[in-house]
């Protein structure tokens, strides 16, 4: 039997079909958008530190992914028989269909979002915390933009699935595309022609919205963003009017001035393993302290406790004479976050925000905290980029930079809040040897300006040349706190010094 082509083409001029298309688009898009938001909340609950939230999330996802949508549609539509008060809402097929689709899609969206959230590295959140940002600010400005980009292809695929699932709503008599077609072919028995037209309508909807989503994906694709470096003339124009102030906010120690940093009886454990054992450390304003020692000695854990990235089991941290952090404190409370803003942190693996340009990486924290006027903030950020030799790369993205350049941007980002103390966690260990020099020069310039710094490093010559003190750690203990001059002193042959000299590869001093 041949298809009735004139009838088939006539179906594309029927108003009832285009009204059905509108119903499908409205129902599918609303279900997708609401499910997108609710799914994110369910996913966040599933990754929460609260056991009851995780449990509720897991049960919700398990249940609504298990129940067939067709069964859920019939149940929700007939729920007024059990709860008559729900009749004004659930007796409307569109609303019953919307609620059923949202309940199902929220469960699927939650798993998609969970994958996106888990793909954002822990270092991104830590970088936000090191900039004094709260949980909500980190989620909105750092985590969600990255997680959404990662999850977008799967979310788009889920939109296509939702559009097709709207055909099941015909079971509760909502006149969408499939039901409209069924009514027609029950009258004229032209089943194939009618269903073929229904299929074409679905393909049309998916195609149009597919193009829109492809455009969005291209807009959000960071690899497509390849801004060029500024030429010398553009850099000179940017430098005009910039006032570059020294990064250090505290000069050298004065009589009666409180210590910049005091760590008292700091103990840190991971389970039964003690990584820091009753540490006492004092740092005066303007001091440059290098922390050295074998891997696993507790150096990184030590500086991570200073800015509350790691909780401490005992002890307290005093910042410029004020009690700033104690064992058991909530790291997200206002006092600690205010203290963290006075402490700049540079990570071993840079932890730049990949979705932001170099300039926006530096501006993120000042914008969040509302420091300075908008124009002044940008001038300071550009001045810091010029300070680290990267003004020409202001509009590039982190993926366009070398490792050494990324680390210098990370230093500029940490300096943007004008901290009183800078922490460096092995800032050159992730770099190729030829890139190390540029980063070390930036750190040396900060030392000359009087910035108080604690540097975890394996660059022994650098530690000797830049430091006021070298602190040697081993087995979670602070074994030796000594000046570089004493390390070089050939008359001092004490056992502790000999151990440190051997570790640093210095020539042994004969006893």
Domains delineated in the chain: 5-220 (1.10.3720.10), 261-504 (3.40.50.300)
Which has the closest alpha carbon to 320: 264, 258, 263?
258
Which has the closest alpha carbon to 131: 322, 409, 366?
366
- Both tokens of 475, joined, read 């087995």
Cβ pair 469, 482 in contact under 8 A: yes
The pLDDT tens digits of the residues spanning 475-494 come to 999 999 999 999 888 888 78
Per-residue confidence (pLDDT) for residue 250, from 0 to 100: 47
Q: What share of the chain is helix, strand, coil (3-state, %, to 5)?
A: 60, 10, 30
Other Cβ atoms closer than 10 A to 462: 19
First to last CA, the chain: 107
Residues of the chain above pLDDT 70, percent: 96
Residue 369 and residue 132: Cα distance in Å, rounded?
Answer: 8
Give φ, ψ of 319 to 5 degrees: -120, 110
Per-residue confidence (pLDDT) for residue 511, from 0 to 100: 59
- Both tokens of 344, joined, read 């700049």
The pLDDT tens digits of the residues spanning 120-134 come to 999 999 999 999 999
- Helical H runs in 189-333? 191-220, 232-239, 299-306
The pLDDT tens digits of the residues spanning 64-117 come to 999 999 999 999 999 999 999 999 999 999 999 999 999 999 999 999 999 999
Which has the closest alpha carbon to 12: 197, 146, 148, 217?
197
- Helical H runs in 91-248? 93-119, 122-130, 135-138, 144-165, 177-188, 191-220, 232-239
- Both tokens of 229, joined, read 């470096």
Which residue reads 């269903």 in tokens? 195
Average pLDDT, stretch 195-208?
Answer: 94
Residue 215 and residue 212: Cα distance in Å, rounded?
Answer: 5
pLDDT greater at residue 97 or residue 3: 97
Cβ pair 222, 149 in contact under 8 A: yes
Residue 162 and residue 156: Cα distance in Å, rounded?
Answer: 10
DSSP state letter for 86: G
Per-residue confidence (pLDDT) for residue 403, from 0 to 100: 92
Residue 69 and residue 76: Cα distance in Å, rounded?
Answer: 10
Which has the closest alpha carbon to 459: 467, 450, 451?
467
Average pLDDT, stretch 327-339?
Answer: 88
Report helix, strand or coil for 237.
Answer: helix
Cβ pair 376, 241 in contact under 8 A: no
Alpha carbon of residue 121 to chain centroid: 7
């Amino acid at each position: 039997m041949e298809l009735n082509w004139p009838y088939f083409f006539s179906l594309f001029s029927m108003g009832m079909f285009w009204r059905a298309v509108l119903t499908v688009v409205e129902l599918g898009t609303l279900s997708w958008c609401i499910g997108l938001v609710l799914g994110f909340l369910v996913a966040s609950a599933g990754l929460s530190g609260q056991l009851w939230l995780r449990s509720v999330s897991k049960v919700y996802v398990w249940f609504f992914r298990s129940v067939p949508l067709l069964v859920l549609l019939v149940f929700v539509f007939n729920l007024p028989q059990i709860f008559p008060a729900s009749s004004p809402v659930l007796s409307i097929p569109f609303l019953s269909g919307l609620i059923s689709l949202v309940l199902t899609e929220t469960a699927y969206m939650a798993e998609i979002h969970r994958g996106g959230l888990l793909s954002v590295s822990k270092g991104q959140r830590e970088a936000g915390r090191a900039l004094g940002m709260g949980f909500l600010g980190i989620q909105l400005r750092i985590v969600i933009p990255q997680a959404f980009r990662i999850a977008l292809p799967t979310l788009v695929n889920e939109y296509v699935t939702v559009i097709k699932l709207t055909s099941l709503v015909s079971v509760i008599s909502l006149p969408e595309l499939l039901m409209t077609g069924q009514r027609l072919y029950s009258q004229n028995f032209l089943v194939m022609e009618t269903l073929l037209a229904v299929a074409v309508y679905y393909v049309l909807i998916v195609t149009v919205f597919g193009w829109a989503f492809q455009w969005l994906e291209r807009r959000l694709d960071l690899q497509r963003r390849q801004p060029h470096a500024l030429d010398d003339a553009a850099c000179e124009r940017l430098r005009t009017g910039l006032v570059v102030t020294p990064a250090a906010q505290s000069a050298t120690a004065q009589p009666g001035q409180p210590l910049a940093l005091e760590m008292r009886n700091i103990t840190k454990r991971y389970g039964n393993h003690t990584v820091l054992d009753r540490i006492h450390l004092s740092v005066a304003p303007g001091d440059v302290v290098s922390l050295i020692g074998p891997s696993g000695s507790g150096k990184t854990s030590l500086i991570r406790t200073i800015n509350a990235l790691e909780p401490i089991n005992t002890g307290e941290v005093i910042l410029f004479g004020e009690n700033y952090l104690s064992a058991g404190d909530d790291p997200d409370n206002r006092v600690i976050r205010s203290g963290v803003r006075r402490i700049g942190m540079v990570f071993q693996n840079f932890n730049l925000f990949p979705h932001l340009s170099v300039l926006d990486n530096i501006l993120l924290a000042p914008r969040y905290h509302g420091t300075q006027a908008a124009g002044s903030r940008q001038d300071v950020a550009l001045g810091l980029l010029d300070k680290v030799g990267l003004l020409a790369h202001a509009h590039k993205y982190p993926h366009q930079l070398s490792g050494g350049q990324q680390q210098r941007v990370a230093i500029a980002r940490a300096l943007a809040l004008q901290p009183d103390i800078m922490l460096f966690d092995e800032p050159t260990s992730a770099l190729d040897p030829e890139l190390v020099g540029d980063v070390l020069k930036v750190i040396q310039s900060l030392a000359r300006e009087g910035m108080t710094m604690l540097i975890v490093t394996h660059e022994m010559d650098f530690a000797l040349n830049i430091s006021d003190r070298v602190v040697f750690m081993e087995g979670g203990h602070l074994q030796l706190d000594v000046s570089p001059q004493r390390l070089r002193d050939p008359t001092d042959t004490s056992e502790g010094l000999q151990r440190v000299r051997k570790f640093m590869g210095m020539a042994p001093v004969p006893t």
